């Protein structure tokens, strides 16, 4: 390529930063990558989705930090697509654009009572205890003695674990101070984690499951009858290492639970039918399920009700449309082929690409985004022509013309230092997050 490409990456989570890294590597550094995020902080899901007590996973931020600090990569924080910048703006200033905005909203259960106070999206709860500024104003009522968590994936396990832990167990994490104080007031004694299918279909990893069983202040129980596997599930458990590991751990929880301040009941073969209550959640009606001959979930007509005062749904995430960018409303992804965005008729949309969950859906682990981004970048660079028309103006010129302030990487480092200093002053771990917008902005530009 005759002139270095200039590429905008929208989203500074793992997908976006792995894309930035791939652009630098695949061009031998002959590139300018500008990474935009609507938040003043980088790292996306690593900062605001990974559970605070999963420090080994959160340490991925140190790897991503090296990407942001590398030559040819710049960070533009608090710049939101659709508010501050349009799709047309980006195409005016860059040779190509990669959208990597992730999956930002939760899926609905679609049952009566879902909108009652006390019925909560796991997304909101996770954002709250992870210190996301959009959730800093939330005030979850943790006075209920019993709580239901709908879902048996890793996020559901994270939510259960945070609810079951004591504040002292979370003290050396980066949980915001106001969240820690709220968790200290929790009266939750019993947590029901509920799956529509059986143990062979559970989505959590064996490692995550084991962590639940190792909580010192909580006992855990599985009904023995829930572990009776149908022939198809038994075959899967025999041949799939992940399923086999899960079933082994779950079978170990079928005995009488030990006495403990909190109890976790892992329930299978139950589908939410209705969230009960008038002014707030008072119960959860469930229907017993089974797998039919085609492997689909079918109701049995048997029901039970749990006397819960809070329901957290954790049945998956989905992406939202980006202004002007093609979107598949059925699968909640941007239609693409190898990261190349496709129009409604299957025609490639020139100079626009996707990476991460908005490309493939909310699947895989953090590391999955690395190969995913590399594929997108490979196709992007293959599409660039040496005689292409250059961008008509720079992003600096555009931002200056509109008087838009930018949070730079140096600004973020001020916030980073403030959180580390806060942890030191509170005698709490490596950092304590500042969650409120005002506090974050004050730290970014100290007076």
Report, in angstroms and rounded to the nearest whole number, the Rg of the chain calculated over CA atoms: 23
112 in a domain, yes or no?
A: yes
pLDDT of residue 90: 97
Q: Are both 48 and 175 inside the same structural domain?
A: no
Q: Are both 325 and 299 inside the same structural domain?
A: no
pLDDT of residue 2: 61
Q: Are both 284 and 359 inside the same structural domain?
A: no
Is 180 labeled as ligand-binding? no
CATH number for the domain harbouring residue 68? 3.40.50.720
Bridge partners (DSSP) listed for residue 98:
9, 353
Measured distance CA(291)–CA(271) in Å, rounded: 12
Q: Are both 300 and 392 inside the same structural domain?
A: no
Structural domain ending residue among the three candidates 260, 295, 317? 317
Q: Are both 69 and 112 inside the same structural domain?
A: no
434 in a domain, yes or no?
A: no
Burial of 338-352, coded b for 16+ CB within 10 Å and e otherwise, reads: ebbbbeeeeeeeebb
Dihedral sign, Cα of residue 165, residue 169, residue 174, residue 178: positive
pLDDT of residue 388: 84
Q: Are both 94 and 126 inside the same structural domain?
A: no
Is 85 labeled as ligand-binding? no
416 in a domain, yes or no?
A: no
Q: Are both 23 and 172 inside the same structural domain?
A: no
pLDDT of residue 292: 86
Question: Please, are residues 234 and 227 in contact by the beta-carbon 8 Å criterion?
Answer: no
- Residue with token string 């590429």: 7
| Summary mean pLDDT of the chain | 93
Identify the band that residue 338 occupies on the pLDDT scale cut at 50, 70 and 90.
very high
50 in a domain, yes or no?
A: yes
Q: Are both 221 and 268 inside the same structural domain?
A: yes
pLDDT tens per residue, range 145-174? 999 999 999 999 999 999 999 999 999 999
Question: Please, are residues 176 and 136 in contact by the beta-carbon 8 Å criterion?
Answer: yes
Contacts with 109 (C-beta within 8 Å, 6 or more apart), sequence order = 150, 272, 313, 315
pLDDT tens per residue, range 253-277? 999 888 999 999 999 999 999 999 9
pLDDT tens per residue, range 235-255? 998 999 999 999 999 999 999
Using CB atoms within 10 A of its CB, is residue 258 exposed (0-12), middle (13-18) or buried (19+)?
A: exposed
Above 60 in pLDDT, residue 1?
Answer: no
**Would you state the structure tokens that stand for residue 435, as one six-digit string?**
């969650």
165 in a domain, yes or no?
A: yes
Is 2 labeled as ligand-binding? no
CATH number for the domain harbouring residue 175? 3.50.50.60
Query: CA distances (Å), 60 to each of 18, 54, 202, in order?
Result: 11, 11, 26
Q: Are both 220 and 273 inside the same structural domain?
A: yes
0.85 cut: is pTM over it? yes
Phi and psi for 198 in degrees, rounded to 5?
A: -95, 180
Measured distance CA(89)–CA(85) in Å, rounded: 6
- Average pLDDT on 431-437 reads 96
Is 197 labeled as ligand-binding? yes
- Average pLDDT on 313-342 reads 90
Above 80 in pLDDT, residue 387?
Answer: no
Q: What's the domain range around 226?
A: 106-317
Pick from 304, 314, 271, 272: nearest CA to 290: 271
Is 15 labeled as ligand-binding? yes
Is 215 labeled as ligand-binding? no
The domain total for the chain is: 2
Is 20 labeled as ligand-binding? no
Is 81 labeled as ligand-binding? yes
Of the two residues 371 and 317, the one the predictor is more confident about is: 371
424 in a domain, yes or no?
A: no
437 in a domain, yes or no?
A: no
Q: Are both 311 and 383 inside the same structural domain?
A: no
pLDDT of residue 366: 80
Identify the band that residue 333 occupies on the pLDDT scale cut at 50, 70 and 90.
very high
- Residue with token string 């950092």: 431
pLDDT tens per residue, range 352-379? 999 999 999 888 778 889 999 999 999 9
Q: Are both 60 and 118 inside the same structural domain?
A: no
- Average pLDDT on 380-407 reads 92
- Beta strands 317-318 and 105-106: pairing type? antiparallel
Q: Are both 399 and 286 inside the same structural domain?
A: no
Identify the band that residue 192 occupies on the pLDDT scale cut at 50, 70 and 90.
very high
292 in a domain, yes or no?
A: yes
């Amino acid at each position: 390529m005759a002139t270095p490409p200039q590429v905008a990456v929208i989203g500074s989570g793992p997908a976006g930063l792995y894309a930035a890294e791939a652009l630098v590597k695949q061009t031998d550094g002959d590139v300018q990558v500008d990474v935009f995020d609507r938040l003043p902080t980088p790292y996306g899901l690593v900062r605001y989705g990974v559970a605070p007590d999963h420090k080994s996973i959160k340490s991925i931020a140190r790897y991503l930090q090296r990407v942001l600090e590398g030559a040819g990569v710049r960070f533009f924080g608090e710049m939101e697509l659709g508010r501050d910048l349009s799709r047309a703006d980006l195409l005016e200033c860059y040779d190509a654009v990669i959208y990597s905005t992730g999956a930002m909203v939760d899926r609905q259960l679609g049952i009566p009572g879902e909108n009652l106070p006390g019925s909560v999206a796991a997304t909101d709860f996770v954002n709250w205890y992870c210190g996301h500024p959009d959730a800093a104003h939330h005030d979850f009522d943790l006075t209920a003695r019993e709580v239901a968590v709908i879902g048996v994936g890793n996020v559901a396990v994270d939510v259960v674990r945070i609810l079951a832990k004591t504040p002292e167990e979370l003290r050396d994490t980066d949980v915001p101070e106001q969240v820690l104080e709220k968790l200290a007031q929790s009266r939750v004694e019993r947590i029901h984690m509920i799956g529509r299918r059986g143990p062979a279909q559970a989505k959590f990893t064996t490692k995550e499951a084991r962590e639940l069983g190792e909580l010192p202040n909580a006992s855990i129980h599985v009904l023995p009858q829930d572990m009776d596997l149908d022939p198809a599930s038994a075959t899967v458990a025999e041949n799939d290492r992940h399923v086999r590991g899960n079933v082994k751990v779950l079978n170990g929880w079928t005995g009488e639970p030990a006495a403990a301040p909190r109890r976790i009941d892992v329930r299978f073969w139950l589908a939410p039918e209705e969230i009960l209550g008038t002014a707030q959640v008072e119960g959860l009606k469930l229907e017993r399920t089974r797998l039919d001959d085609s492997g689909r979930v079918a109701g049995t007509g048997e029901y039970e009700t749990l006397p819960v005062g809070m329901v957290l749904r954790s049945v998956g995430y989905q992406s939202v449309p980006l202004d002007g960018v093609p979107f598949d409303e059925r699968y909640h992804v941007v239609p693409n082929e190898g990261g190349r965005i496709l129009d409604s008729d299957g025609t490639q949309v020139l100079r626009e690409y996707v990476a991460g969950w908005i490309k493939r859906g909310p699947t895989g682990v953090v590391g999955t985004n690395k190969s995913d981004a590399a594929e997108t970048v490979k196709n992007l660079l293959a599409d660039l022509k040496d005689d292409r028309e250059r961008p008509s103006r720079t992003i600096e010129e555009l931002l200056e013309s509109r008087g838009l302030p930018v949070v730079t990487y140096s600004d973020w480092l001020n916030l980073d230092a403030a959180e580390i200093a806060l942890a030191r002053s509170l005698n709490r771990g490596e950092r304590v997050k500042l969650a409120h917008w005002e506090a974050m902005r004050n730290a970014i530009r100290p007076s």
